[in-house]
Amino acid sequence: MAVTIKDVAKQAGVSPATVSRVIADNPRISSKTKQKVREVMEELGYFPNFQARNLVAKKSQTLGIVMENSATLAFQNPFFPEVLRGISTRAHGSQYGLYLSTGATQEEIHREVVEMAQGKRVDGIILLYSKIGDPVMEYLGQCGLPFSVVGRPYKDPETVSYVDNDNINNAKETVEYLIGLGHRHIAFVGGATDFVVSLDRMEGYRQALDQHDIPFVEAYAVNQELMQGKEREAIRQLMALDVPPTAIVTHDDMVAYEVIGYLEDLQIRVPEDISIIGFNNHAISKHLKPPLSTVDISIYELGLHAAELVLEKITDESVPPKQVVVSSRLIERGSCRRL
Amino acid sequence: MAVTIKDVAKQAGVSPATVSRVIADNPRISSKTKQKVREVMEELGYFPNFQARNLVAKKSQTLGIVMENSATLAFQNPFFPEVLRGISTRAHGSQYGLYLSTGATQEEIHREVVEMAQGKRVDGIILLYSKIGDPVMEYLGQCGLPFSVVGRPYKDPETVSYVDNDNINNAKETVEYLIGLGHRHIAFVGGATDFVVSLDRMEGYRQALDQHDIPFVEAYAVNQELMQGKEREAIRQLMALDVPPTAIVTHDDMVAYEVIGYLEDLQIRVPEDISIIGFNNHAISKHLKPPLSTVDISIYELGLHAAELVLEKITDESVPPKQVVVSSRLIERGSCRRL
DNA sequence: CTGAAAGCGCTTACAG
DNA sequence: CTGAAAGCGCTTACAG
């Protein structure tokens, strides 16, 4: 059996209550007693039982991390480890542990979150994505548990603490960068349209076109739903248009790599024949040929702030919801050319 | 306050013990009572408190994941999310949760592991790396907590449950593949030499050379310690040798990308002037130009088995240590050419 | 400055 | 088939 507070108490000739106070470094305990108890703890190899401690303290010193695991997408993308690194760093600084959701479907995730919250497994939750009509976000909003979101909530964003990039502006500036290079026929390959980030980037794309009096061409705007897994065919069709685009903005570097591959198969060269720009600045993007121009979104910072936001809420429930915008920057490399 | 077992008991007109038994689906409870209790649970929105339940059950239904976080390396590498996906899938299947270590230094990690184990925070641990003289592994071996390792332990491997690739053979076959293409001057860019996987791959490299009567050239074998962060310079020196290599094996795809970049700066083309092969088959490697030949090590499977192994140990402490070898395969793409 | 007692929310022999 | 009681390992008013 593991050594408990009672064993220490007996050995040190004090009461369990005193041992408990020594652990908490209660100032009302004499330093002699503290020292004695600490020696015994050392000697017996005592370690506090978290379950017991958390049960009475009504907290867990743990943050729940909820991610989209469906289709293994979140895991494939380097976004996840990097945001986790940010969260981990901040959580560790406040002695918080990390508990990961493992569910694959939306239902499983939802159930897990309810269990985490109701079962008092975690003191707060970080939601790593924001999608439209998400029951998980809905539940979090109601249940009262502190939480933060990476990404702007679709509904009532001002009522929740979240961290995000200015995705609309990012996309806008990205498109304007291409316009500045002389492009007028710019396509956009977006992500799943139930994610807010996808909507925002599409919105920025449209805004940029609008402001520069470039008509929005339906066929230039592609997204995951439209492609239905047939990315190759979608790109083929895009390039087979009467007026094919001279530049493509993709919502993620990984997608950019794929698109570049499809284009090559069509004997279309980047950047000679077409310019490509990505998003998220993966670690390998600079090693590509041509090196991929992209938008760095400071993923690590997103994680850091997400953790900071929940931790704030946990420390003081009454703190009003807070929104943090993390800066992004366009990184020019070799995948776009001036027309 | 959250609703407890007592509230349910009162409302249902039974004792708390009965409610507890209904939760556990104890067969000795009449189905009428069960139904009634379940209705009340539903009605009141009851959820069991994990802390309390775990305290008495002396288990946590949680697996601890311990990773190397130093220098942010583990996080950058796609290995981590993929192995986590495997673990997550298996753990979820057995209703186990995942608890992540957050420490950055070896000392912090060690302390965390001791806390996880002694504090009964987790029922078992998966160690995501194997290095020489690792105090964490040492501790795990002694403390009696079920654990498994991704990677062969350096000391007494037969006494611990681990999953690994046959790294020696992988490297050997990789080198032999290059020999088969007519290469005789083959360099090896390895990882940190305190990781067992690095040693193994180096060993396989030497074995292949030996068996084909190719002398081992000291200057051809580079590793992380030797380079000391000056990878570019190391590659320059390598190529400036009197007899420069005609092929380079790198211990990870990410390293291969970098090396390719440095080579290009030296006006050395891949695969025309030199062949390159990587390890671990990152998702983007196929999109590179040239597409990177590499060794796929079934990372997802590694995670799956690692979880399986701890879970086995947790279910039955007496089960003997088990070793699983996960298959790997060389993927020929465009980065190597026949001499 | 320290201890006895109650209690956190649950489970599980022990009775009946 | 069900309940009363003890207990998991800790913390924290309440006394003194």
pLDDT of A30 reads 86
Is residue B335 within 8 A of residue B291, CB to CB? The reply is yes
* CA B124 – CA B149 distance, rounded (Å): 11
How does pLDDT run across B20-47, given as a tens digit for each residue? 999 888 888 888 888 888 999 999 989 9
- Looking at the predicted structure, is the pLDDT value of residue B74 above 60? no
Among B180, B170, B229, residue whose Cα is nearest residue B202: B170
DSSP codes, A220-252? GEE-HHHHTT-HHHHHHHHHTSSS--SEEEESS
DSSP bridge partners of A188 = A221, A249
Note down pLDDT in tens along chain A; length 339 residues.
Answer: 678 999 998 888 898 899 999 988 888 888 888 888 899 999 998 999 999 999 998 999 999 999 886 544 544 577 888 899 899 999 999 999 999 998 888 889 999 999 899 899 999 999 999 999 999 999 999 988 999 999 999 999 999 999 999 999 999 999 999 999 999 999 999 888 889 999 999 999 999 999 999 999 999 999 877 777 788 899 999 999 999 999 999 998 988 988 998 998 999 999 999 999 999 998 888 888 889 999 999 999 999 999 999 999 999 988 999 999 999 999 999 999 998
- Mean pLDDT check: name the lowest of B69-73, B178-182, B280-284: B69-73
Question: Which residues 19-78 in chain A have a CB closer than 7 A to strand D?
Answer: 19-21, 23-24, 46-49, 52-53, 55-57
- What residues contact B180, with CB distance under 8 A and at least 6 apart? none
* A26, closest nucleotide (Cα–C1'): C1
Q: CB distance from A103 to chain B under 8 Å? A: yes
pLDDT of A334 reads 93
Determine whether the distance from the CB of B44 to the nearest atom of strand C is below 7 Å: no
How many Å does it take to go from CA B18 to C1' C13? 14
Phi then psi dihedrals of residue B321, to 5 deg: -60, 145
pLDDT of A72 reads 42
How many Å does it take to go from CA B98 to C1' D14? 40
Please give the average per-residue pLDDT across B225-236, as a whole number. 83
pLDDT of B224 reads 77
DSSP assigned state of B329? E
* A118, closest nucleotide (Cα–C1'): C9
Chain B residues with CB under 8 Å of A47 CB are 114-115, 118-119
| Two structure tokens written together for B81 | 């999310």
| CB–CB contact A261 B287 (8 Å) | yes
DSSP assigned state of A324? E
Q: CB distance from A143 to chain B under 8 Å? A: no
Beta-strand ranges (E) seen in chain B are 62-66, 97-100, 124-127, 147-150, 161-165, 186-189, 221-222, 247-250, 275-277, 294-296, 323-326, 329-331
Determine whether the distance from the CB of A8 to the nearest atom of strand C is below 7 Å: no
How many Å does it take to go from CA B9 to C1' D13? 28
Is residue B137 within 8 A of residue B150, CB to CB? The reply is no
Rounded percentage of chain B residues whose pLDDT exceeds 90: 66
* CA A333 – CA B170 distance, rounded (Å): 36
- Looking at the predicted structure, is the pLDDT value of residue B108 above 60? yes
Instruction: Point out the residue among A55, A96, A282 whose CB comes nearest to the CB of B51.
Output: A55
| CB–CB contact B85 A108 (8 Å) | no
| Distance of residue A293 Cα from the nearest chain B Cα, in angstroms | 15
Terminal Cα distance for chain A, rounded: 75
pLDDT of B71 reads 47
* CA B100 – CA B69 distance, rounded (Å): 11
Which residue did the predictor score with more confidence, B79 or A38?
Answer: A38
Please give the average per-residue pLDDT across B237-264, as a whole number. 93
How does pLDDT run across B196-212, given as a tens digit for each residue? 999 999 999 999 999 99
| Two structure tokens written together for B48 | 């069991």
Q: Name the band, by pLDDT with cuts 50, 70 and 90, for residue B76.
A: low
Determine whether the distance from the CB of B22 to the nearest atom of strand D is below 7 Å: no
pLDDT of A79 reads 82
- Looking at the predicted structure, is the pLDDT value of residue B77 above 80? no
pLDDT of A172 reads 97
Q: CB distance from A80 to chain B under 8 Å? A: yes
| CB–CB contact B81 A76 (8 Å) | yes
Determine whether the distance from the CB of B20 to the nearest atom of strand C is below 7 Å: yes
- Looking at the predicted structure, is the pLDDT value of residue B75 above 60? no
Determine whether the distance from the CB of A28 to the nearest atom of strand C is below 7 Å: yes
Among A307, A319, A282, residue whose Cα is nearest residue A77: A282
How many Å does it take to go from CA B5 to C1' D11? 21
Among B118, B149, B94, B123, residue whose Cα is nearest residue B309: B149
Centre a 10 Å sphere on the Cβ of residue A338 and count the other Cβ atoms it contains: 10
- Looking at the predicted structure, is the pLDDT value of residue B73 above 70? no
pLDDT of B69 reads 67
| CB–CB contact B47 A114 (8 Å) | yes
| Distance of residue B10 Cα from the nearest chain A Cα, in angstroms | 20
Q: CB distance from A35 to chain B under 8 Å? A: no
pLDDT of A175 reads 97
- Looking at the predicted structure, is the pLDDT value of residue B168 above 80? yes
User: Chain D bases under 7 Å from protein CB?
Assistant: 1-5, 7-13
Interface of B with A in 148-177 (CB under 8 A): none
| CB–CB contact A100 B98 (8 Å) | yes
| CB–CB contact B289 A289 (8 Å) | yes
Instruction: Point out the residue among A47, A82, A260 whose CB comes nearest to the CB of B119.
Output: A47
Q: Which domains can be identified in chain A, with CATH numbers?
A: 62-164+299-327 (3.40.50.2300), 167-297 (3.40.50.2300)
DSSP assigned state of A98? E
Instruction: Point out the residue among B84, B261, B286 whose CB comes nearest to the CB of A287.
Output: B261
- Mean pLDDT check: name the lowest of B19-28, B89-98, B292-301: B19-28
Residue of B121, B300, B335 to mutate, testing the A interface (most A Cβ within 10 Å of its Cβ):
B121
* B46, closest nucleotide (Cα–C1'): C9
- Looking at the predicted structure, is the pLDDT value of residue B287 above 90? no
| Two structure tokens written together for B26 | 């104890």
Instruction: List the single residue in B with minimal CA-CA distance to A68.
Output: B85
